Amino acid sequence: MTTPSPRTVVPARHARTVRARAGQSVRVTDTRGGQVGDVFAFVADDPTEYHSAAHTRAHLSRLFPRAGEVFVTNRRRPLLTLVEDTSPGVHDMLIPACDPYRYADLGADPGHRSCAVNLVGEAAAHGIPVTDVPQPINVFMNTPVVDGTGIDWRSAPSRPGDSITFRAELDCVVVVSACPQDLVGINGEGPTPLAVEVLDGSGRRQPASAEADAPSGEEQP
């Protein structure tokens, strides 16, 4: 384990990983506001089981998350519960993680960072081989349904310091990617950092979250 850190910065356009035991909570904070985070969660002792937005929508009969509701896995077991949300409460469960194909479609340079590649790299560094990228919980992402069947792409309404907190229902590994999207206007004025921390049952920070400092030699915000 590296030097304990009470709160791990997720640099703009990059991802970081924390481990949470059942009963602990994972808090994602939008430090500067207007930034989308892609949150992926894997069951610690069998990462072939992971959070699935599609299964969660079916489980809840809802399109978007809200406080008090659970997020289930691809085997339909509760993995996370949304226990606290200080943001305006706008989050997405419809949109897949951005990936190199998305950026190619948008005309970006081939090296444009993406949440999908961020996830694969972070997960591999923590011993989790990811071949199919799960559909994430896109915290602070503002993609409402319009006119019944359409999807609009709007800027994240989160304010500096807004946070969303998930309780782990099973021991899990959580990867948070600060979305690098800068060609579709979801990230306010442009990509900025996030922060992630692990809290114990009483709401205290866990130094174990410093594991997130481990990989990957990327620049700081």
What does the binding site for Zn ion look like in residue numbers (CB under 5 A)?
98, 115, 179, 181
Nearer to Zn ion, 98 or 164 (CB): 98
Q: Is 83 exposed, middle or buried (0-12, 13-18, 19+ CB in 10 A)?
A: middle
Q: Could you identify the residue written with the tokens 């990059």? A: 14
Other Cβ atoms less than 10 A from the Cβ of 169: the count is: 18
Max intra-chain CA distance, the chain: 50
- State the nearest-atom distance from the C-beta of 190 to Zn ion, in Å: 13
Choice between 141 and 168, CB closer to Zn ion: 141
CB of 133 to Zn ion, least distance (A): 11
| Shortest distance (Å) from residue 47 CB to Zn ion | 21
Burial class (CB in 10 A: 0-12, 13-18, 19+), 11: middle
* CA pair distance 46, 161, nearest whole angstrom: 33
- Smaller CB separation from Zn ion, 177 or 206: 177
Between 176 and 179, name the residue whose CB sits nearer to Zn ion. Answer: 179
133 versus 179: smaller Cβ distance to Zn ion: 179
The distance of closest approach from Cβ of residue 45 to Zn ion in the complex, given in angstroms and rounded to an integer, is 28
Which is nearest to 62 in space by CA: 135, 153, 145, 142?
145
Minimum CB–partner distance for residue 42 and Zn ion (Å): 18
- Phi, psi of 219, deg, nearest 5: -70, 155
Task: Report CA dihedral (101, 107, 111, 113) to the nearest 10 degrees.
Answer: -70
Q: Least distance to Zn ion from the beta carbon of 48, Å?
A: 23
Q: Which amino acid would we find at residue 82? A: L
Q: Which is nearer to Zn ion, 115 or 199 (CB)?
A: 115
Q: Determine the straight-line distance between the first and last CA of the chain, rounded to whole angstroms.
A: 22
